[in-house]
Amino acid sequence: MLQQVNGHSSGSDAQGRESLREDLQEFLGGEVPLHQLDDLTKVNPVTLETVLRCLQARYTADTFYTNAGCTLVALNPFKHVPQLYSPELMREYHAAPQPQKLKPHIFTVGEQTYRNVRSLIEPVNQSIVVSGESGAGKTWTSRCLMKFYAVVAASPTSWESHKIAERIEQRILNSNPVMEAFGNACTLRNNNSSRFGKFIQLQLNRDHQMTGAAIQTYLLEKTRVACQDSTERNFHIFYQICKGASSDERLQWHLPEGAAFSWLPNPERTLEEDCFEVTREAMLHLGVDAPTQNNIFQALAGLLHLGNIRFAGAGDEAQPCRPMDDGAVRTSALLLRLPEDPLLETLRIRTIRAGRQQQVFRKPCSQAECDTRRDCLAKLVYARLFDWLVSVINSSVCADPASWTTFIGLLDVYGFESFPHNSLEQLCINYANEKLQQHFVAHYLRAQQEEYAVEGLEWSFVNYQDNQTCLDLIEGSPISICSLINEECRLNRPSSAAQLQTRIESALAGSPCLGHNKLSPEPSFVVLHYAGSVRYHTAGLVEKNKDPVPPELTRLLQQSQDPLLKVLFPADPEEKSQAEPSGQSRAPVLTVVSKFKASLEQLLQVLQATTPHYIRCIKPNSQGRAQALHREEVLNQLEACGLVETIHISAAGFPIRVSHRTFVERYASLRRLHPRAPPDPHSPSPDEGHSEGSPHAEQATLRALLQDILHTLPALEAAAPAAPAGATPAPVHCGRTKVFMTDATLELLERGRAQALEQCARCIQAGWRRHRRREQERRRRAAVCIQAAIRSWLTRKHIQRLHTAATVIKRAWRQWGIRMAFLASKELDGVEEKHSSQAPRSPSSFPLPLAQTKLLRAVTHLWPLGLVLANAAVGVHGFPRKLVVFACLQLPVGSPSGYTVQAQTAQERAGIMSIRALPQGSIKFHCRKSPLRYADICPELPPNSATGFNQILLERHKLGHV
Ligand SMILES: Nc1ncnc2c1ncn2[C@@H]1O[C@H](COP(=O)(O)OP(=O)(O)OP(=O)(O)O)[C@@H](O)[C@H]1O
């Protein structure tokens, strides 16, 4: 299902798939973000895509270790990660009650292994297989594990034993720089590439303290001594002596500064591995004293000079080739302490023994043969030197067999290799990887079986074919690739590469793992390995397998006066007979393949007798850059280290495992599609007997729901578009806590769920529309109500405001009137008040309308006269004048309720400005202007109207005209 979803598509379809993919991944992966998933087997479903995504997420989050079931996947950080390998962290993992609960780390594996040894559960001995391609971090990992054991497996009780343990650990750790100097080289893929495989056995005593170690090496790439790619380098030790030797040593070893050696490409490149002093120091700790070291380095210098020997063809086959530089021969012979002439002769002349008497014939070699013999001599010396060093290290670090009881093995092997040109080396490496893969798969399947057993599932349905057929093809009996190549060596007959190809293809035609190779221009055969198909070229395969060492070369080296070479090449009659296989001899020939096979079998026997642990080192990118993960490259390595294969094995079973609860939550809707018949009311309910809310009751309810859902599967299958008649039911198993299913079942369930969701969606849509219509109607009515209420409220408010305004106006108007009246009355002098107080007026005794009428009449008819009198500058004053005025105005004099005519003496003096009518009904003569705003305006009164306050009846300027 997920693979389909992961497939390519375009446009909206792709978008839909993407969202479904995410949805499914969320469902299957649970809530845990990918980078927090510590175990790749918990990635759900277990597909390459999800595994890759998980590894990428973790790498981005600087999390470099991830479990994959019984395997630890280690991504190379390609950078220093502070505290990732500190002694404190080692102790933390060592002290943890359950180290597997801590974050995945090589220390978890280390600690688990150590605890297994202590628990004494069979098999007590443990092994850690560290694999991966070149540069993936195998050596680093092995080194870290050794340091880990040096820290945790060294807590002796007494001070003395503490010292001994410390010395042993130091020696074990010191073996690393020595092994790396002699066995590692800078390659295109790794500056410090191990050119051999190794199995380190860390020996523990009864108290589980490390008492020693033993190192077993496999398949050193000795051809590198004499043949290097122009972009690569020879073994580190050659550069170390050339760069690190003192001037005396340079003289002694004939290594002048800047000397050029044809077997020393790229000498200008300086690596951190070029540290001569470290190597010397470590050798010293391992018991290789200074004179022996000197001897070793001198021999190595001799090999460098040997590589400078060049031969020129003599032109005549009967004549041996000429050396182009006698100096190189001389120096080489001197340093290797070989006689110069025999050295030259051995390189140029082959001896052949023939006939019953084993007569010796001497035959000059061709130029190419001379070169081959020279290279062979160097390879022979170097390989023996390497093996001798390993044995020296072993004798230094290996504990007395009686002192150790258990061991932890560290296997650092080369990963699966597939290059454009593959030969015997790759065949051996890939053969070893096939063997280890078989071992790993057996172990992995066992772990899977255990999980299935815990869940109460049968294992038998997992139909997986392991890689036995491929192994049969490579090493099987009686006919296999190895046996055919060995046969060619044994028969010692001339055979071409094409003939070998034909032989292999015809003899092994029935093997399903032998690929067809019709189009290749070069003779080759194809093997379909578990990690991919590899084409092996047959040219030179037999020769490499023979790894012939001309006996003359061995004899020559046995003549050396050098103490080291004497040790490396003792005069051994047994070796002699091995080195001189007779063409007619039927004795088994020790070929490279047969030796390798033997050591591999021995190794597997050791592994099978131990509890294995696996660390798969992955190189995130080939450039060695930090923070860069190239998916394609990682995918290839996952394939090569067998993780993909184990993923496929998972797929052969039930790659999808979901907990009961999650399953029910996701697929509960399926019950709507095909409802089950209601249960018999008399049958017991699933949670009967369990108290409500108890875990049992919950589990029982879940199970019942689960069964309901699973019962819909047949109906779903029948409804599936391409369901063939009589198709087998979708495989699904209900474990104790999880539902196990295949990809096909997931697809079926998902399809049903989509249908159920569609139905639900329709229901929801209809309900929603109904609900929306009702809502809309309700809203409309509510809006009308609200509008009406608001309008009435607004109107009320408006009217209220008008009322308030009117009241305010009225009040203001009244106040204004009062103020005006007050001002008008204030304007009067105290005279009136006096009059008023003396003769209070009674409205009832003299009603105002009548008084007004009288006044008006008086004003209208007589006031001009009174006025004239009042204004007269001379004349009557005082009371007589008042009387005159009163008379003119026809006002009753002394009437208590009548009008008063007021005029102040000062006014009288200043003259009258105006005559005014007051609301109280009196007439006033004003000698100045009124403070009232309108009081000084003489209204054009209509006849008989005298309203207003203090209204001017007549102004001064008009007075004159009167
Ligand atoms: N855990 C790590 N932390 C930091 N750097 C690392 C780590 N592991 C590996 N490296 C880096 O990667 C380089 C290659 O690692 P290493 O030599 O262990 O690879 P290898 O798998 O042993 O390669 P080969 O098979 O060629 O020997 C190291 O030199 C180191 O720089």
- Atom 15 of ligand 1: nearest residue by CA position: 137
Give CA–CA dist 114/404, Å, rounded: 15
Residues listed for the chain: 962
Give CA–CA dist 733/459, Å, rounded: 11
* pLDDT one-digit tens code per residue, 222-244: 999 999 988 899 999 999 999 99
Ligand 1 pocket, mutate which of 139, 176, 195, 411 (most atoms under 8 A from CB):
139
Q: Please report which confidence band the pLDDT of residue 893 belongs to, taking 50, 70 and 90 as the band edges.
A: very low
Q: Is 137 left (phi over 0), alpha (psi -120 to 50) or beta?
A: left
Q: Closest Cα to residue 869, out of 916, 828, 901, 898?
A: 901
* pLDDT one-digit tens code per residue, 72-93: 999 999 999 999 999 999 999 9
* pLDDT one-digit tens code per residue, 131-158: 888 889 999 999 999 999 988 887 556 6
Mean pLDDT of 57-63: 92
* pLDDT one-digit tens code per residue, 494-510: 778 888 999 999 999 98
Gap between the terminal Cα atoms of the chain:
124
Query: Is residue 418 within 6 Å of ligand 1 at its C-beta?
Result: no
Query: Is residue 176 within 6 Å of ligand 1 at its C-beta?
Result: no
- Choose the most confident range, by mean pLDDT, from 297-306, 419-428, 581-590: 297-306
Give CA–CA dist 438/466, Å, rounded: 7
Give CA–CA dist 128/70, Å, rounded: 11
Q: Quick check: pTM over 0.95?
A: no
Distance 292 CA to ligand 1 centre (A): 31
Neighbours of 768 (CB within 10 A): 12
Query: Is residue 108 within 6 Å of ligand 1 at its C-beta?
Result: no
- Atom 11 of ligand 1: nearest residue by CA position: 78
pLDDT beyond 80 at 122: no
Distance 136 CA to ligand 1 centre (A): 6
Query: Is residue 105 within 6 Å of ligand 1 at its C-beta?
Result: no
Query: Is residue 646 within 6 Å of ligand 1 at its C-beta?
Result: no
Q: What is the DSSP letter of 383?
A: H
Neighbours of 406 (CB within 10 A): 19
Query: Is residue 430 within 6 Å of ligand 1 at its C-beta?
Result: no
Please report the pLDDT score of residue 579 as a whole number.
Answer: 45
Which helix (H) or strand (E) segment is 704 a member of?
Answer: helix 695-719
> Which residue ranges form the domains of the chain, and what is each CATH number?
2-289+385-422+610-651 (3.40.850.10), 654-670+688-802 (3.30.70.1590), 828-959 (no CATH)
Distance 99 CA to ligand 1 centre (A): 25
Dig out the tokens for 918 from the structure.
């007051």
Distance 208 CA to ligand 1 centre (A): 29
Please report the pLDDT score of residue 705 as a whole number.
Answer: 87
Q: Where are the alpha helices (DSSP H) in 324-477?
A: 326-336, 340-348, 367-397, 424-454, 468-475
* pLDDT one-digit tens code per residue, 749-805: 888 888 888 888 899 999 999 999 999 999 999 999 999 999 999 999 999 999 999
Which helix (H) or strand (E) segment is 65 a member of?
Answer: strand 65-68
* Nearest atom in ligand 1 to 132's CA: 21
* Nearest atom in ligand 1 to 195's CA: 27
Q: ipTM score of the complex?
A: 0.99
Q: Is 77 exposed, middle or buried (0-12, 13-18, 19+ CB in 10 A)?
A: middle
Distance 418 CA to ligand 1 centre (A): 20
Query: Is residue 637 within 6 Å of ligand 1 at its C-beta?
Result: no
Distance 191 CA to ligand 1 centre (A): 9
